[in-house]
């Protein structure tokens, strides 16, 4: 470390160490003690000389790099950027990023709000379960018959799918249903289309089953059906609220998708993501309503109650359901009886509808707040439904760097590039507003707006 530049860190309450260190470098650059082109010590040497962890030195350099004070040269090191120092009379305070929060506030998408205490409907369902005895054996690999019947009635009513209990299979969630389907109905080497950007867990599931994933582009209305080839065995789509851009597939494009599947014999795997939460528009019919012979419909409690419940449903033709049930009779991987029984009680009691109505109002207010705070910093899309919005940023911005800066400020948010695979597109942030408390959401949005500013 240059002996002409003494660096002193106060460990007794003057703020985070990496911010102290970054400010001392800024001051040295502003007043000319460090000139453009000056080579800085490595993070390893800097950490050793200051007796701090290397992560502290790296965080300070990351901050300075993001603000343009320093630059890296491949294979050479880190140098002071060509920054013209301000003269003393012209000096002004350089805005600093907010100090990190004591706890990280999460704006990750896809996680619902869980209140601080169990409400009456939740307790009532579990009291009903506790008064029953479990079934004696392993006779229900497709799920409890009464739950399948209630679930068929539910999806007929809320999603318009003409089905009976014979068309319903109870799962551990969307990805569990997808993996079951791929295991039973698709062979290694077959090709499956998946939206890009899209749900990465679906990509992982397909590759785990040795399917070839074909990336298909999306626009702000959803999947580009015209890009689907005739040699695909299946297509995985999120037509109700495309993940993560938030578009909803228009009726004309839905019809085009069904015609493609009928012509090619491909299976359409409909992830009915976020269909329960629409704010300014009416819900469109499920794809499965149009052709249950070609569509396998996947739903989940994860966005309504909690991902921790590990419960969902699959709606398909009786041929598909019977094949999956036969497979599960051998594998034994179906949801536990207590959770199925509790879910049945929630459906019969009207508790599930009550939760959806209550949280829809809550999420609409949070959606409005999120859009209002962040709209000045980019273009908001996908705000008509769901538990998240996407903020598109100027092409010159590195969204991963923005997400890293937000995390250092105390906010966890996903960069849009995290969801992309091979098809390029604008940078952005995928911002979930459902999970935090009202107070935490306001704090997190304020911190994020400061980072974006």
Are 271 and 237 spatial neighbours (Cβ–Cβ below 8 Å)? yes
Q: Is residue 324 over pLDDT 70?
A: yes
- Asked, for residue 314, whether it belongs to a domain, the answer is yes
Q: Could you tell me the pLDDT band of residue 91, with boundaries at 50, 70 and 90?
A: very low
pLDDT digits (tens, 9 = 90+) for 33-74: 888 888 889 888 888 888 888 888 888 887 787 667 888 776
pLDDT digits (tens, 9 = 90+) for 65-80: 766 788 877 667 888 8
Co-location of 334 and 261 in the same domain: yes
Worst-scoring range by mean pLDDT, 169-183, 215-229, 233-247, 271-285? 271-285
Worst-scoring range by mean pLDDT, 4-18, 100-114, 199-213? 4-18
pLDDT digits (tens, 9 = 90+) for 106-119: 999 988 888 777 78
DSSP 275-290: TT-BSSSPPPPPHHHH
Co-location of 152 and 255 in the same domain: yes
Are 227 and 217 spatial neighbours (Cβ–Cβ below 8 Å)? yes
- Asked, for residue 3, whether it belongs to a domain, the answer is no
How big is the chain, counted in residues?
453
- Asked, for residue 8, whether it belongs to a domain, the answer is no
- Measured CA to CA in angstroms, residue 170 lies from 155, 307, 318, 320 at distances of 13, 15, 14, 13
- Asked, for residue 95, whether it belongs to a domain, the answer is no
- From the list 384, 428, 435, 445, the residue with the least C-alpha distance to 221 is 384
- From the list 334, 349, 386, the residue with the least C-alpha distance to 168 is 334
CATH number of the domain within which 380 lies: 3.90.1150.10
Q: 392: which strand partners?
A: 379, 428
- The per-residue pLDDT for 98 is 52
Worst-scoring range by mean pLDDT, 85-89, 175-179, 362-366? 85-89
- The per-residue pLDDT for 424 is 93
- The per-residue pLDDT for 365 is 92
Residue after which a domain boundary falls, among 351, 384, 405: 351
Co-location of 367 and 345 in the same domain: no
DSSP 49-116: HHT--HHHHHHHHHHHHHHTSEEEETTTEEEE---PPPPGGG--PPP-PPPPPSSPEE--TT-----S
Q: Could you tell me the pLDDT band of residue 90, with boundaries at 50, 70 and 90?
A: very low
Co-location of 346 and 363 in the same domain: no
Co-location of 130 and 164 in the same domain: yes
CATH number of the domain within which 241 lies: 3.40.640.10
Co-location of 144 and 275 in the same domain: yes
Co-location of 314 and 417 in the same domain: no
Find the mean pLDDT for residues 163-188.
Answer: 95
> How many Å apart are CA 240 and CA 287, to the nearest integer?
9
- Asked, for residue 92, whether it belongs to a domain, the answer is no
> How many Å apart are CA 254 and CA 274, to the nearest integer?
17
Co-location of 312 and 367 in the same domain: no
Co-location of 386 and 338 in the same domain: no
Residue after which a domain boundary falls, among 327, 351, 375: 351
Region of residue 413 (left: phi > 0; alpha: psi -120 to 50; beta: else): beta
- The per-residue pLDDT for 285 is 79
Q: Could you tell me the pLDDT band of residue 452, with boundaries at 50, 70 and 90?
A: very high
Peptide bond into 379 cis (omega under 30): no
- The per-residue pLDDT for 96 is 54
Co-location of 310 and 405 in the same domain: no
Q: Which domain covers residue 250, as residue numbers?
A: 120-351
Co-location of 179 and 288 in the same domain: yes
Query: How high does pLDDT run on average in the chain?
Result: 88
Q: Could you tell me the pLDDT band of residue 89, with boundaries at 50, 70 and 90?
A: very low
- Asked, for residue 384, whether it belongs to a domain, the answer is yes
Find the mean pLDDT for residues 129-152.
Answer: 90
How far is C-alpha 180 from the chain's CA centre?
A: 22
- The per-residue pLDDT for 1 is 44
Number of domains in the chain: 3
- Asked, for residue 99, whether it belongs to a domain, the answer is no
DSSP 310-356: --EEEE--HHHHHHHHHHHHHH-----HHHHHHHHHHHHHTHHHHHH
- Asked, for residue 393, whether it belongs to a domain, the answer is yes
- The per-residue pLDDT for 172 is 93
Q: Is residue 353 over pLDDT 50?
A: yes
Q: Could you tell me the pLDDT band of residue 97, with boundaries at 50, 70 and 90?
A: low
Find the mean pLDDT for residues 150-170.
Answer: 94
- The per-residue pLDDT for 66 is 65
Q: Is residue 334 over pLDDT 90?
A: no
Find the mean pLDDT for residues 244-252.
Answer: 91
Q: Is residue 86 over pLDDT 50?
A: no
Are 382 and 271 spatial neighbours (Cβ–Cβ below 8 Å)? no
Co-location of 325 and 393 in the same domain: no
């Amino acid at each position: 470390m240059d002996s002409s530049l003494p660096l002193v860190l106060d460990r007794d309450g003057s703020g985070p160490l990496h911010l102290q260190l970054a400010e001392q470098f800024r001051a040295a650059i502003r007043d000319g003690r460090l000139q453009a082109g000056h080579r800085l010590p490595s993070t390893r040497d800097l950490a050793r000389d200051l007796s701090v962890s290397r992560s502290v030195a790296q965080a300070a350099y990351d901050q300075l790099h993001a603000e343009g004070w320093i630059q890296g040269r491949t294979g050479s090191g880190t140098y002071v950027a060509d920054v013209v120092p301000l003269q003393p009379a012209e000096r002004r305070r350089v805005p600093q990023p907010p100090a990190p929060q004591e706890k990280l506030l999460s704006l990750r998408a896809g996680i619902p709000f869980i209140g601080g205490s169990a409400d009456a409907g939740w307790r009532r369902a579990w009291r009903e379960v506790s008064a029953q005895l479990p079934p004696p054996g392993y006779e229900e690999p497709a799920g409890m018959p009464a739950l399948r019947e209630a679930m068929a009635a539910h999806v007929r009513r809320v999603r318009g799918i003409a089905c009976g209990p014979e068309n319903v299979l109870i799962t551990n969630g969307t990805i569990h249903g997808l993996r079951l389907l791929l295991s039973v109905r698709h062979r290694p080497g077959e090709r499956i289309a998946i939206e890009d950007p899209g749900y990465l867990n679906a990509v992982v599931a397909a590759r785990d089953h040795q399917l070839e994933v074909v990336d298909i582009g999306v626009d702000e209305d959803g999947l580009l059906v015209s890009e689907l080839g005739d040699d695909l065995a299946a297509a995985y789509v999120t037509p109700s609220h495309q993940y993560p851009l938030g578009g909803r597939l228009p009726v004309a494009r839905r019809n085009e998708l069904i015609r493609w599947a009928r012509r090619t014999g491909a299976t359409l795997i409909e992830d009915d993501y976020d269909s329960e939460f629409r704010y300014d528009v009416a819900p469109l019919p499920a794809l499965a309503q149009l052709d249950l012979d070609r569509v396998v419909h996947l739903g989940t409690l994860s966005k309504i109650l909690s991902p921790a419940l590990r419960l969902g449903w699959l709606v398909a033709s009786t041929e598909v359901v019977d094949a999956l049930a036969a497979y599960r009779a051998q594998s034994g991987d179906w949801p536990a009886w207590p959770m199925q029984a509790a879910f049945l009680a929630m459906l019969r009691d009207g508790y599930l509808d009550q939760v959806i109505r209550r949280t829809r109002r809550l999420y609409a207010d949070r959606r409005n707040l999120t859009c209002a705070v962040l709209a000045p910093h980019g273009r908001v899309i996908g705000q008509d439904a769901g538990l998240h919005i996407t903020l598109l940023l100027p092409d010159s911005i590195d969204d991963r760097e923005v997400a890293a800066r937000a995390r250092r400020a105390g906010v966890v948010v996903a960069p849009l590039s995290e969801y992309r695979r091979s098809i390029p597109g604008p940078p952005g942030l995928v911002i979930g507003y459902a999970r935090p408390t009202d107070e935490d959401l306001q704090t997190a949005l304020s911190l994020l707006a400061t980072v974006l500013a």
